[in-house]
Amino acid sequence: MKNYVVICLLSFMVSGCVTTPEPSMEHVVDYALNRAVEQYKHMYAVMDSIPEMLPRSVDKNGGLETSDSYFWTSGFYPGTLWYLYEYTGDEQLKEMASRMSDRVEIQKYNKDNHDVGFMINCSFGNKYRLLGDTSCIDIITTTARSLSTRYRSAVGCTRSWSHPGTLHWQFPVIIDNMMNLELLCRATEFSGDKSFYNMAISHADKTMANHFRPDYSCYHVVNYDTISGNALQKCTWQGYADESVWSRGQSWALYGYTMMYRETKQPRYLEQARHIARFLINHPKMPQDKIPYWDFDDPGVPNVLRDASAAAIMASALLELSGYVDKATGQDYIAVAETQLKTLASDEYLAKPGENANFILKHSVGFLPQNSEVDVPLTYADYYFVEALMRYRAMCLKE
C-alpha cells in the first residue's frame, strides 16, 4: 500500500511536470494572426521590388513563386492584407493592401475565366467592406459585367474555363465556381441590376441539381450541352478520380452554399450547406485533427498528403454556417472549426518567422494529378485561414 501511494505521488509529480495546459483559443487566434502579420509584412518587402506580380506559391527549391494578376489566385494576397489591416488597424498594412489590390484591378475586364470573382471580390470586396471606398463599386460592377458574359441562359450557369487544355468540354462548370457568385450578388446590391443576382441564383440551383451525389459529396466538373443545357458528363480535373471526393471541392461547395444562403436567405441553400457539412464532418476518413486528405478516396489513405487549404476553407465556412442553425448544431460546427484552427496554428502547419517564403501555412495541395503545387504553401490557404481566425474572433471571443 505504501509503495502504491509513493508510485501515485511520483507519477502525479512527473505528469504535473511534463503536461502543459492546452492553450486557449484566444491565445491560438492571436498567436496565428500575429504570425500572419509578421510573414505578410516580410512578403510585402519582397513583392514591392517585383512590379506588377503577386505571390502564388513556392518553386521546387522552396523560393517564392509569383504570378501576374491574370492567374486565378491574384486577389488572395491583397485580400489577406485587408484582413490583417482589420485585425491590427495598422496604417502600413492598409497601404500595402491598397497597393497590392491595385495590381489586380485590371482583371475587372477579364472575360476569359470565372475566377474574376475570387480576384476582385477578395481584394476590392474587402477594401469596400473596410473603407467604404466608393471607387470599389465601379470595379466590382465592371467585373460582374465581365463575368456575366460567361453566362449562357440555355445552361443557366456561368462557364468556368475556356483555356486550351479544357476545350474537350462543351461548357465546363466546376464546383469552385460557386465562390464567384458572391461578386454577382454584390454587383446587384451596388447597381440595382437584378440580372447579376438572377444569374447567381440560377447557377447555384443548376449546380445543386447536377454536381451532387446522393450522399452530398460533389463532382469537380460538370460538362453541359450548350444547346439543351443537359449535363453530358460528370468528372474531375484536380481530384483522384471522377467518382472520388476531392477535398477542396467539398470545401468550396460548403462555403458556396453557406454564402448563397447569406446573400439570398433561400432555405434550400441552407439545407444544402447543412447536408454538405454533415457529409464532411461524419466522413469516416476525416482525420482526428480535421485536416482532410487531399482526396478522401486516394487508395493510399491514410498515407497520403493532407490539404491545409481544404481545412481552412471548411473552417471559415463552418463558422459562418454555425450562425444560421440551431445552437447544438452550431456548437458542433464550431468544435470542428476550432480543431482545424488549432491544428493549422501548430508547428506542423504554421510557418516559423521568415520561413516558408513568408507564406503563413505549409502543406497544401494544388493540383496533384499534374504534379503541380504539391505539399506547398498557397495564397488561398492563407486567405481562408486568416478569414476563419477573424470570424472566430468576432463570433466567439469578443463580448
Nearer to ligand GLY, 76 or 224 (CB): 76
Grid coordinates belonging to 228: 439543351
- CA distances (Å), 362 to each of 116, 297, 345, 371, 375, in order? 25, 22, 10, 17, 7
Catalytic (active site) residue 176? yes
C-alpha cell at 290: 480535421
Nearer to ligand GLY (CB atom), residue 176 or residue 382: 176
Minimum Å gap between C-beta 165 and ligand GLY is 14
Q: Coil, helix or strand for 325? A: coil
Considering beta carbons, is residue 156 or 366 the nearer one to ligand GLY? 366
Residues that constitute the known binding site for substrate: 115, 176, 236, 248, 252
Name residue 214's amino acid: P
The answer to whether residue 115 is catalytic is yes
Identified binder of ligand GLY from the candidate list 176, 263, 307, 382, rule CB under 6 A: 176
Q: Give the three-state DSSP class for 196.
A: helix
- Residue nearest ligand GLY, CB atom distance: 176
What whole-number distance in Å separates Cα of residue 125 and Cα of residue 128?
5
Nearer Cβ to ligand GLY, position 220 or 342? Answer: 220
- From 68, 90, 115, 193, active-site residue: 115
CB of 102 to ligand GLY, least distance (A): 23
- Footprint on residues 342-371 left by ligand GLY (CB under 6 A): 366
The verdict on 159 binding ligand GLY (CB under 6 A) reads: no
Nearest to 59 by CA among 310, 392, 377: 377
State which of residues 206, 248, 274, 306 lies at the interface with ligand GLY (CB under 6 A): 248
Encoded amino acid at 305, one letter: L
Marked catalytic residue, from 138, 176, 205, 242: 176
| Amino acid in position 181 | L
Closest CA to 80 of 59, 62, 104: 104
Torsion of CA 97, 100, 103, 104, to 10 degrees: -60
Candidate list 188, 236, 238, 358; residue touching ligand GLY; CB under 6 A = 238
Min CB(176)–ligand GLY separation in Å: 4
Phi, psi of 313 (to 5 degrees): -65, -40
Give catalytic residues, as residue numbers: 115, 176
Binding site for ligand GLY (CB under 6 A): 176, 238, 248, 366
